[in-house]
């Protein structure tokens, strides 16, 4: 029997944003591996194994999933959002590179999903309508100096920025430091959007000016979009403002 491994993006959380491809792969799996809260989003099916693990156990989880696939199971590893964006697909590829030959012979597939910045952008207009970048603010896996350098490069070159992993209990100061850095490079009125739990229960979207952006507005479930100098806020009577970055620049 030949097993397989699929790394599946669950999207923001609500079933309405889970692709039919992801639903099908999940339904056909023998076993589901992932961080507990993501495994909990997958409907329970009789006969299907569910192996939840800690957020930081990514290498161990990938290795266990690869071993199960080599053993003949149809294995799914789940990620929130898109598995290729600061998530499990890179961890699985890394283990395949470093692990036994049998892992490099496996049928491996990545199933894309709606990543947090796309869900948040859709909720508030089109802030990612022009050139943009995605930066993880976690300095668990890279030095803070690299993050500062990237924030600076992105601001100076006019990219809108989506900030992933802005804050956690173990990383309380990084988002505030990022805002301080960006305030020295961007106009005070630059729009900043905080999206918490977008696309699932308890959603909130807040738009502020960079001068008033406060890291305390974010938690682990938040994605933050920082506009460029071109990004605009359109006020609307009785409705939430629209935030967008024009497609046209400098003409």
Instruction: Name which of residues 38 to 77 contact its own copies (CB under 8 A).
Output: 58
Residue closer to its own copies (CB basis): 2 or 49: 2
Please report how close the Cβ of residue 90 comes to its own copies at its closest, in angstroms: 3
Residue range at the interface with its own copies (CB under 8 A); choices 36-44, 98-106, 173-181, 188-196:
98-106
Please report how close the Cβ of residue 147 comes to its own copies at its closest, in angstroms: 8
Is residue 183 part of the contact set for its own copies (CB under 8 A)? no
Is residue 35 part of the contact set for its own copies (CB under 8 A)? no
Is residue 247 part of the contact set for its own copies (CB under 8 A)? yes
DSSP 3-state of 10: coil
Is residue 113 part of the contact set for its own copies (CB under 8 A)? yes
Question: Reading across the β-sheet that carries 232-236, which strands appear in turn?
Answer: 125-126, 239-244, 232-236
Is residue 136 part of the contact set for its own copies (CB under 8 A)? yes
Long-range contacts at 177-184 (CB < 8 A, ≥ 24 apart): 177/144, 177/148, 178/137, 178/147, 178/151, 179/210, 179/213, 179/214, 179/215, 181/148, 181/151, 181/152, 182/151, 182/155, 182/210, 182/226, 183/210, 183/211
Token couple for 222:
């938040």
């Amino acid at each position: 029997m030949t097993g397989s491994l699929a790394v599946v993006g669950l999207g923001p959380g609500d079933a309405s944003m889970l692709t039919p491809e992801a639903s099908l792969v999940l339904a056909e799996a023998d076993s589901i591996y992932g961080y507990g809260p993501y495994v909990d989003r997958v409907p329970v099916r009789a006969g299907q194994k569910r192996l939840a693990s800690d957020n930081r156990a990514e290498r161990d989880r990938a290795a266990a999933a690869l071993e199960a696939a080599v053993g003949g199971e149809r294995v799914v590893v789940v990620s929130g959002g898109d598995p290729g964006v600061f998530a499990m697909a890179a961890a699985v590829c890394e283990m395949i590179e470093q692990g036994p030959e049998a892992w490099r012979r496996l049928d491996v597939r990545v199933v894309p999903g709606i990543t947090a910045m796309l869900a948040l952008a859709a909720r508030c207009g089109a802030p990612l309508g022009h050139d943009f970048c995605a930066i993880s603010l976690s300095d668990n896996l890279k030095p803070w100096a690299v993050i500062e350098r990237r924030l600076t490069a992105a601001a100076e070159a006019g990219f809108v920025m989506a900030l992933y992993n802005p804050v956690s209990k173990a990383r309380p100061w990084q988002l505030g430091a990022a805002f301080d850095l960006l305030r020295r490079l961007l106009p005070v009125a630059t729009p900043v959007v905080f999206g918490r739990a977008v696309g699932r229960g308890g959603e909130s979207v807040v738009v502020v000016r960079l001068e008033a952006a406060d890291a305390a507005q974010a938690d682990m479930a938040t994605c933050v979009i920082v506009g460029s100098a071109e990004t605009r806020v359109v006020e609307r009577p009785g409705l939430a403002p629209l935030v967008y970055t024009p497609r046209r620049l400098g003409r």
